[in-house]
Amino acid sequence: MYVPDFLAYGGLLMVSLQRSQTDQKIPKLKLNPMTRRAKRDAFTFALFTFPNFLLLTVFVFWPIFYSLFLSFFKWDMIAPKKRFIGFENYRVMFNDPVFWLITRNTLILSVWVVVLKLAISLSLAMVMNRDLKGRSFYQAIIFSPTFTTSVAVAMVWRWILEPDYGLLRVFMRPFGIAPINWIESTTHSLPAVIIVLIWVGIGYDMVIFLAGLKNIPPELYDAGLVDGVSPMQEFIHITFPLLSPTTFFLTITGFISALKSFDIIAILTGGGPLNTSNVLVHFLYENAFRWFKTGYASALALLLFIVIMAITLVQNRLSKRWVHY
């Protein structure tokens, strides 16, 4: 029996050579030997993929498994030996009220950042999709925070939000509005972080939405105009359904980015005051490199990985209801 190469060598055909209950013999498969060209192609494929696989193993797969390993130990990165404590790090984590406060902050921050960033960036993209004078200049201005370093962004916004001599205070003073201590307030520190993260991310999302709008056939809008649809109906029945794959992509990447927020929070508020603006990644950093609780930090890292994976899978499952390809 002849078996094609892509079945024989691709591992897609598996046959167990056993006698059937009717004592009939199953004929043996005749596997064609790999040709010289097939061997050369396989070697080339392995040669080009091995560096990427090696990098993934060293910088992705190994850290994940090693974090899982460390989460069962008590270690300060200084002592030569690690002390096995089982699930103690997880027990301490789930019984810690600070952990639940920080988890709540992380989820609130992620939802507000993603929702408001998508809404603002989509609105800007629809404006920039029109024949607007100076459109390229406005696009460059809006996109500029995306390629600005996070340290510079956090330092500038820290000056803007300073309650005594900050730029925001200068604009609020003529209206007689009392100064707000955004950075050191337990009620305003988290909203301040959300505002900065939205400001940083709307440029990238706007460009992606703009690319999606360019791919919508103009004939659909012409047909809607002939049928007399309103601008709201046009958005609901034409624009948004055809932008749903783009929206889904930005939702997934937005949640992942928000859940991993660190640098701007570390410089702008430092997670304070009283952990009111702290998030899981910054809390992980504090435990690992400030308090040297490596095992506890590894447990936090594993939990964050599970949370990101779960949110991504749930969004992927729900996307079947509203994403149209």
User: Domain-by-domain residue ranges, the chain?
Assistant: 2-60, 88-322
Task: Tell me whether strands 2-3 and 30-31 are parallel, antiparallel or unpaired.
Answer: parallel
8 or 282, which is more confident: 282
* pLDDT grade for 25, boundaries at 50, 70 and 90: low
Q: Residue 232: what pLDDT?
A: 86
Q: Indicate if the pLDDT at residue 79 is higher than 90.
A: no
Dist. CA 132–CA 127, nearest whole Å: 8
Q: Residue 2: what pLDDT?
A: 38
Q: Output the CA–CA distances (angstroms, integers) from residue 164 to 49, 173, 189, 218, in the order listed.
A: 56, 10, 16, 51
Dist. CA 62–CA 296, nearest whole Å: 18
172 or 298, which is more confident: 298
pTM, 2 dp: 0.80
> Which residue shows structure tokens 């992927």?
316
The tens digit of pLDDT for each residue in 202-218 reads: 999 999 999 988 888 88
For residue 248, give both structure tokens: 């889904």
- 322, amino acid identity: W
Q: Residue 31: what pLDDT?
A: 52
The answer to whether the CB of 193 falls within 8 A of the CB of 269 is: yes
Q: Which of 125, 145, 138 is nearest to 209 (CA)?
A: 125
Share of the chain above pLDDT 70, in %: 90
Q: Indicate if the pLDDT at residue 26 is higher than 70.
A: no
Q: Residue 27: what pLDDT?
A: 55
The answer to whether the CB of 311 falls within 8 A of the CB of 251 is: no
Mean pLDDT across 249-273: 90
Domain 88-322: give its CATH superfamily. Answer: MetI-like (1.10.3720.10)
